């Protein structure tokens, strides 16, 4: 039996971002799946406002599911390639029985524009969009039910840097516009440092260190944190050491 | 036209177009020329759509049949574009190998690790069963496994992502190819693991004189790893120079944009301010 998450505790103030950072296998995705109740935790509490969602049954969870949404790493595996952008974004509204057909379509058009895509592209199939565009559609889908809390599970990994930069800006703007709370899960400390004011470092199922991002990164006390900081600083250190023919 | 003797790989005026059933042809590579010397570690830097994966596929002659190529790709003084399949099959895996982006999809889930590495040896080298077994264990050790016997008998799903990537590397170096082309092999791995894989590849290159063509969208991967960087944009090489020069003093506007982004995303723990870290 493997304990994927062990005694994990953290708090995220409303409207803020917590970065959950750790190497592969540290348990970050397990935490994400428990918080979104894709999995039921074996023990512990998950407080959203004044409701502990860890123990709720599926019927009681229904309204909660509208409040908490997740964006996944690879849009090509989190979206049905045969569906159109409109169908992708409307799906949560259908599941929760919200609005008439026209209302859903009009809401989808607004969301497309909000994530920086043209509403004219709604009829296009998933296969016709680039990776970055698909993540924008995933964000639009996540916002469809007006959630308060978004879990971003490696949502920016593997994207081109310019796409990562644009989507980071988008997420920041959306957070301000809708007072969203984010749990940003990533192995990329550089990315997390740009978006998250708070950070928690995970290793082997436990949180080894947590606090304000600037403090943790500039004064890591745990060896696991030091390893992550050193790896993330590779670019800077490598440039300073100057590999290749001298200038 | 004969190739120059010192270059291991000489790509000259390579143009490749995809010809879809409906619609206009798409130019993936546009009059591209690139020369790579023995033992060099060359980074191909470009974003999605730049043509970098098409370049790897074109060199390996693995583009779809609907693609059309002009120009020449000289490898060890033979023009790969002029060769037929039987000759190419002797080159692929033996003299030029490919490390693809996603190890999970290039490993057969129902076949043991040792068998999968052995397959590459059987296809190209005349070794008997005992020699192959020995070579498989040697390769597993070379790619960093302390317990090669145990790993050899595993199935891919029993290994982590990083371990699977090492298996794919073992397959790629099995026949000691002169050239290894890697297409974004570390972009989804976490940074400490990425660093380990790059260190491993540097050692392999140094030890065996293997030439590496490393394709990535991330300049940070190439710093401290590649000798040279060729920047690709819209099917062309827009800048080509030593890693130091390209990363410290980029000339082309596109390179400046990519390098600038790298700096923005780079972590600099000495500049942490008020909970938000600035790299500049």
Contact across the interface for A244 and B248, Cβ inside 8 Å: no
Select the residue of B224, B225, B245 nearest A247 (Cβ to Cβ): B245
Bridging pattern class, strands A47-48 and A51-52 = antiparallel
Domain for residue B203, yes or no?
no
Q: Which residues span the domain enclosing B139?
A: 100-174
Chain A nearest CA to B171, separation (Å): 23
Name residues 105-164 of chain B within 8 A of A (Cβ). 160-162
Q: Which of A103-117, A136-150, A225-239 has the lowest mean pLDDT?
A: A225-239
Residue B97: closest CA among B178, B215, B201: B178
| CB contact at 8 A, A229 and A220 | yes
| CB contact at 8 A, B62 and B48 | no
Q: Does A237 touch chain B (CB under 8 A)?
A: yes
**Inter-chain CB pairs, A–B, below 8 Å:** 146
Instruction: Say how many domains are in chain B.
Output: 1
Residues of A in contact with B273 (CB under 8 A): 214
Evaluated on CA atoms A137, A143, A145, A151, the torsion sign reads: positive
Top residue of A232, A242, A246, A247 to mutate, by most chain B CBs within 10 Å, is A232
- pLDDT value at position B120? 94
| DSSP character string of B75-142 | ETTEEGGG--HHHHHHHBTTTEEEE-S-HHHHS-TTS-HHHHHHHHHHHH----HHHHHHHHHHHHHH
Residues of B in contact with A164 (CB under 8 A): 265
Residue B235 banded pLDDT, cuts 50, 70, 90: very high
Q: Does A20 touch chain B (CB under 8 A)?
A: no
Strand-by-strand arrangement of the B26-37 sheet: B26-37, B7-18, B67-75, B78-79
Structural domains in chain A plus CATH codes: 17-241 (3.40.50.300)
Contact across the interface for B160 and A25, Cβ inside 8 Å: yes
Contact across the interface for B276 and A237, Cβ inside 8 Å: no
- Looking at every residue in chain A, the average pLDDT score rounds to 90
A118-144 pLDDT tens trace: 999 999 999 999 889 999 999 999 999
- pLDDT value at position B5? 52
Contact across the interface for B224 and A243, Cβ inside 8 Å: yes
Alpha-helical segments (H) within chain A:
28-35, 58-67, 75-78, 85-95, 101-114, 131-143, 161-178, 189-195, 213-218, 223-232, 234-241
Select the residue of A162, A233, A236 nearest B47 (Cβ to Cβ): A162
Residues of A in contact with B193 (CB under 8 A): 23-24
Which DSSP state fits A244? S
Domain for residue B142, yes or no?
yes
For A41-56, what is the mean pLDDT? 86
Q: Does A161 touch chain B (CB under 8 A)?
A: yes
B159-182 pLDDT tens trace: 988 899 999 999 999 999 999 999
Contact across the interface for A197 and B187, Cβ inside 8 Å: no
Cα separation, A116 vs A122, whole angstroms: 13
Domain for residue B128, yes or no?
yes
Evaluated on CA atoms A127, A133, A139, A141, the torsion sign reads: negative
For B248-271, what is the mean pLDDT? 88
* pTM, entire model: 0.87
Contact across the interface for B161 and A130, Cβ inside 8 Å: no
Three-class SS state of B66? coil
Chain B nearest CA to A8, separation (Å): 21
Cα separation, B113 vs B106, whole angstroms: 12
* Residue A247 pLDDT > 60: no
| DSSP character string of A213-226 | HHHHHHS--SHHHH
For B121-148, what is the mean pLDDT? 95
| CB contact at 8 A, A143 and A174 | yes
For A222-236, what is the mean pLDDT? 89
Contact across the interface for B242 and A245, Cβ inside 8 Å: yes
| CB contact at 8 A, A187 and B249 | no
B99-124 pLDDT tens trace: 988 877 889 999 999 999 999 999 99
Residue B128, number of CB atoms within 10 A of its CB: 7
Q: Does A235 touch chain B (CB under 8 A)?
A: yes
Domain for residue B112, yes or no?
yes
- pLDDT value at position A1? 64
């Amino acid at each position: 039996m493997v304990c994927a998450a062990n005694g994990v505790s953290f708090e995220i103030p409303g409207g803020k971002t917590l970065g959950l950072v750790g190497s592969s296998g540290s348990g970050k995705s397990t935490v994400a799946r428990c918080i979104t109740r894709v999995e039921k935790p074996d023990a512990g509490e998950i407080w959203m406002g004044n409701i502990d969602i860890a123990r709720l049954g599926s019927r009681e969870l229904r309204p909660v599911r509208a409040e908490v949404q997740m964006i996944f790493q690879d849009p090509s595996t989190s979206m049905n390639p045969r569906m159109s952008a409109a169908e992708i974004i409307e799906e949560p509204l259908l599941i929760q029985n919200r609005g008439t057909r026209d209302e859903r379509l009009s809401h989808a058009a607004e969301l497309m524009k909000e994530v920086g895509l043209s509403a004219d592209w709604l009829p296009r199939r998933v296969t016709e969009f680039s990776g970055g565009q698909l993540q924008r559609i995933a964000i639009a889908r996540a916002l469809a039910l007006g959630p308060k809390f978004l879990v971003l599970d490696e949502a920016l990994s593997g994207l081109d840097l310019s796409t990562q930069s644009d989507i980071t800006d988008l997420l920041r703007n959306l957070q301000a516009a809708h007072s969203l709370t984010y749990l940003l899960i990533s192995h990329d400390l550089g990315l997390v440092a740009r978006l998250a004011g708070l950070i928690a470092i995970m290793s082997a199922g436990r949180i080894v260190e947590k606090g304000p991002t600037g403090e943790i990164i500039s004064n890591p006390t745990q060896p696991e944190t030091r390893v992550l900081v050193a790896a993330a600083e590779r670019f800077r250190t490598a440039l300073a050491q100057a590999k290749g023919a001298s200038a | 036209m004969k190739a120059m003797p010192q270059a291991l790989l000489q790509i000259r005026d390579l143009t490749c177009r995809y010809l879809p059933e409906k619609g206009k042809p798409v130019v993936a590579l546009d009059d591209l020329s690139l020369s790579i010397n023995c033992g060099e570690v060359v980074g191909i830097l470009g974003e999605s759509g730049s043509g970098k994966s098409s370049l790897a596929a074109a060199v390996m002659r693995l583009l779809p049949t609907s693609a059309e190529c002009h120009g020449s790709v000289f490898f060890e003084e033979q023009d790969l574009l002029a060769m037929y399949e039987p000759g190419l099959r002797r080159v692929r895996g033996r003299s030029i190998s490919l490390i693809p982006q996603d190890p999970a999809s290039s490993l057969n889930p129902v076949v043991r690790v040792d068998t999968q590495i052995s397959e590459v040896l059987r296809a190209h080298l005349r070794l008997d069963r005992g020699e192959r077994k020995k070579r498989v264990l040697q390769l597993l050790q070379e790619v960093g496994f302390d317990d090669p016997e145990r790993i050899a008998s595993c199935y891919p799903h029993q290994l982590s992502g990083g371990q699977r990537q090492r298996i794919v590397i073992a397959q790629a170096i099995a026949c000691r190819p002169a050239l290894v082309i890697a297409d974004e092999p570390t972009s989804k791995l976490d940074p400490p693991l990425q660093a380990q894989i790059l260190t491993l590849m540097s050692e392999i290159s140094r030890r065996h004189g293997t030439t590496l063509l490393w394709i990535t969208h991330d300049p940070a991967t190439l710093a401290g790893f590649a000798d040279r960087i060729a920047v690709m944009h819209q099917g062309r090489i827009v800048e080509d120079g030593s890693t130091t020069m390209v990363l410290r003093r980029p000339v082309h506007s596109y390179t400046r944009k990519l390098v600038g982004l790298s700096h923005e995303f780079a972590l600099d723990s000495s500049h942490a301010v008020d909970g938000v870290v600035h790299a500049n």
